[in-house]
Structure 1
Amino acid sequence: MTRPDTAARETTAGEGEFRSLMSLFPTGVAVIGALDAAGRPWGMTCSSLCSVSLAPPLLLVCVRSGSPTLGALTHAGTFSVNLLHHRARNVAELFASGDPGRFRHTPWHVPSHAAGPHLRDAAHAVADCLVDSAQRMGDHTVVFGRVSRVSVLTGPGRVPLLYGLRRYAAWPSGGSVADPD
């Protein structure tokens, strides 16, 4: 194994370089939601979502450490992950905007035993999660969620919304995805 030279290990990419790198990694788009102590909904667009474990079923989301959504979900100890479908770009943009009235502009509800708001018209699937742990890393907090319930919403045209190269796109239609060996 070749060891990198010391100079390469001591440098850090700039914010612009890092943003450019991550724009080259397409990902799905989700809205993370939680209710605060007064029952008010909070939410934000999130593309930093990753599966962690099958047993137990764990995922992680990365949330800006000063976010009111983070405050609500850590206080409640629960949150929802709404995976957006391709016709919900406006919802992704709304929840990324910081508009304090975002929940007045899109239909949502909290079903019985839900962990946070479900965006019924914008999501093609929702995971309800219990906060397992959280760890601050740089300017974000990594929240590990134990998935307690999954709701898959059916209907025509409910294909995933993707984000990459600083633009939104729909999952390609036609053809099928082969299972890996």
Structure 2
Amino acid sequence: MTTALSPVDPDSYRTLMASHPGGVAVVTTHDGLGTPYGFACTAWCGVSLDPPLLLVCASNTGSTLPVLAERGWFAVNLLHGAGRRAAEAFAHRGAGRFSAVPWVRSPATGLPLLPEDAHATAECRVHRLEPAGDHTVIIGEIFRADTLPGTDQGPLLYGNRRYAEWPSP
């Protein structure tokens, strides 16, 4: 006997997803005029070693996804424990995200990077876009990966609706 099931409600989904912490990243790109765009996410992970692929999930209603899809390039800034200001700035919609934190353009791709708030960065070319409900899964091939010197802080985590820092090695 099969029981008809319905998807969980949005509050149950949020509670489930908040119950397990994830590393915080800020995904950035720029438009054809060089205007930077970005968003914070915990929905990212490695996909493949050969070729080197990672994925991030972007809201279909955000301003960054259409720019990222058109440009075909993006950066993933993995935040360290002191990067909470960047996480909070990029978690909210609206202008002013890039005025809230220091950033630079990558010499290799021109992508916006957050060197004061990230412990590592990856610069990626879009490999595939896959619609998934109210988000799009973006798979990127990594063309440049850097671990940034000068920070002894562990990664920034988000779970149970709060930030925490993974202990330093």
Q: TM-score range by the shorter chain?
A: over 0.9
Cα drift, residue 115 of structure 1: 5.9
AA in 2 matched with 1:7: T
SS of the equivalent of 2:33 reads coil
Instruction: Give the corresponding residue for 2:72.
Output: 77
TM-score (normalised: structure 1): 0.89
> Which runs of at least 4 in structure 1 moved beyond 2 Å after TM superposition?
none
Instruction: Give the corresponding residue for 2:2.
Output: 6
Q: Any conservation in 1 of the 2:27–2:41 contact (CA below 8 Å)?
A: yes
SS of the equivalent of 1:37 reads coil
Cα drift, residue 157 of structure 1: 2.8
Q: Are 1:140 and 2:135 matched, yes or no?
A: yes
Q: Any conservation in 2 of the 1:53–1:59 contact (CA below 8 Å)?
A: yes
Instruction: Give the corresponding residue for 1:128.
Output: 123
Cα distance between partner residues in 1 of 2:151 and 2:96: 29
Cα drift, residue 172 of structure 1: 2.3
Q: What are the residue-to-residue correspondences of 1:57-72 with 2, within 5 Å?
A: 57-72=52-67
Q: Kindly indicate which of the two structures has a greater share of residues assigned to strand.
A: 2
CA RMSD of aligned residues (A): 1.4
Q: What are the residue-to-residue correspondences of 1:94-113 with 2, within 5 Å?
A: 94-113=89-108
Describe the superposition over 1:98-141 as per-residue Cα deviations: whole angstroms up to 9, x where unpaired. Answer: 13011112111112213621001110000000000101111000
Q: Any conservation in 1 of the 2:153–2:167 contact (CA below 8 Å)?
A: no
Q: What are the residue-to-residue correspondences of 1:85-100 with 2, within 5 Å?
A: 85-100=80-95
AA in 1 matched with 2:79: L
Which range is displaced more, 104-113 or 138-147? Answer: 104-113
TM-score (normalised: structure 2): 0.95
Q: What are the residue-to-residue correspondences of 1:3-82 with 2, within 5 Å?
A: 6-7=2-3, 10-82=5-77
Gaps of 5+ in 2: none
| Number of equivalences | 169
Cα distance between partner residues in 1 of 2:153 and 2:109: 21
Which range is displaced more, 102-111 or 29-38? Answer: 102-111
Cα drift, residue 156 of structure 1: 3.6
Instruction: Give the corresponding residue for 1:117.
Output: 112
